Amino acid sequence: AGGDAATGPSIIVEAMGQGKRAAFYIDRYLNEEPLDTVVFDNRLPMVDRQAVIEKSAGVSVKPPVTIPTVSPRKRIQSFEAYEDVLTEDEARKAANRCLDCSGCCTCQECVKVCPADAIDFSMRAEEMKLKVASVVLANGFSILDPKTKPLWGYGKYPNVITAPQMDRLLAPTRPYNNVLRPSDGREPENIAMVLCTGSRDHTLCNPLCCRIGCMYAAKQAQLIMGALPLADVTVYYIDIRAFGKGYDEFFEQSKAMDVQYVKGKVSRIEEGDGNDLIVHYEDIAGGKGHQTAEHDMVVLAVGLTPNTDAYSIFSQDELASDDLSYVKEINEIRDPGVTSIPGVYAAGTLSGARDIPDTVLHSGAATTQAACYLKQLEANNVSLAKGV
């Protein structure tokens, strides 16, 4: 029982809450599950206060756009709406005040369109205990935070964005499906892409090549040319490493689309008039020394860094790491994926920077190693439930 029948006259929201609670316990009752072992609680976990403060630290305060209204004289002579619509410029200005337009508003439209019924907003974090004989770790990588190097201007200048953010703008599945400048919402006419942002950089303790920056920059450059046919795209690079099958052809294809490649090391980025950006770089190919160029928007092709979450998983055994904090493979040539803990295998970028084909290949090797380990235990009559 719930709602007004149980509480007396109340509000709709309270009745809806009681209805959800009743449905939860009815479902458990019909499935012959105990009712007293689980407490219904549909509240989402509280957001971390400090995380919100840090996220909004560099946000500027912009006054709201005044919604135009119909004058009283015209209002009394018709049944038209009291408030008028915003112009395109006003709408863009209002939208640019938003702190996080990409955040989920829980409209649940994704639930309706998902063909696999894989989205469930009622799910909550659940801790599970499983005894297994082998584990394949696929924690992936971390994306380098460009704020660690203030000279790039990320977080300070609104029109300096990262390549993952540009990927989001270019995604054909929305929410944007268009390239717009964050500062004023207009389409940029001159875009720069800076390669090796944080990769091969000893000042950030990251001397490795990320192996993916050159190719995803070439991909994004071509997508930008498709979205903005009249825009100029300039890629600043140290070396182009198009080493995979078909990679060099893809790189040459981007040049044929008139993407400009400048062999130059970018030292710093400054803001000019109208939120435009001034890129300072060293002309490596031409030997002309320090040069500057002005762009509407700058995209930082950030590299990969090790994901150290895996080291906190095991309490009894210590997972060995290499000199660069990636999970160490005992013999990466003979036994790829094998770690310092028997039965534990590292897959993909957990043990080093890799692109997608190499990650798929390495993950297949890691799972094969795990399968062989289980077969070996079975052959030696060791219980598979022993656990690691």
Instruction: Please indicate whether residue 178 or residue 340 has the higher confidence score (pLDDT).
Output: 340
pLDDT at 385: 53
Instruction: Please indicate whether residue 106 or residue 322 has the higher confidence score (pLDDT).
Output: 322
Query: What is the per-residue pLDDT across 293-306, written as a single tens digit (0 to 9) for each?
Result: 999 999 999 989 99
Residue 55 pLDDT level (bands cut at 50, 70, 90): confident
Give the count of alpha carbons within 13 A of 326, CB side only.
26
Residue % of the chain over a pLDDT of 70: 94
| Residue 368 in this model has a pLDDT that exceeds 60 | yes
Query: Mean pLDDT score of the chain, rounded to an integer?
Result: 88
Pairing of strands 277-283, 141-143: unpaired
Q: Is 162 within 8 Å of 302 (Cβ atoms)?
A: yes
Token pair 């499935």 is found at 31
Lowest mean pLDDT among 49-53, 100-104, 250-254, 276-280: 100-104
Instruction: State the first-to-last Cα distance of the chain, in angstroms, to the nearest integer.
Output: 48
Residue % of the chain over a pLDDT of 90: 53
pLDDT at 272: 92
Query: What is the per-residue pLDDT across 200-254, written as a single tens digit (0 to 9) for each?
Result: 888 888 898 999 999 999 999 999 999 999 999 999 999 999 988 899 999 999 9
Instruction: Please indicate whether residue 348 or residue 42 has the higher confidence score (pLDDT).
Output: 348
Torsion, Cα of 155, 161, 163, 165 (10° steps): 90
Listed in order, strand segments (DSSP E) in the chain are 135-137, 141-143, 160-162, 190-197, 232-237, 260-271, 277-283, 289-295, 297-302, 304-306, 344-346
Q: What's the pTM value of the predicted model, to 2 decimals?
A: 0.71
pLDDT at 100: 58
Radius of gyration of the chain (CA): 27
Give mean pLDDT, residues 83-107: 76
Instruction: Please indicate whether residue 196 or residue 57 has the higher confidence score (pLDDT).
Output: 196
Residue 388 pLDDT level (bands cut at 50, 70, 90): very low
Q: Is 251 within 8 Å of 242 (Cβ atoms)?
A: yes
Q: Report d(CA 298, CA 380) in Å as an integer.
A: 59
Residue 259 backbone dihedrals phi, psi, to 5 degrees:
-75, 130
Residue 342 backbone dihedrals phi, psi, to 5 degrees:
-60, 130
pLDDT at 127: 85
Give mean pLDDT, residues 256-283: 94
pLDDT at 130: 87
Q: Report d(CA 387, CA 385) in Å as an integer.
A: 5
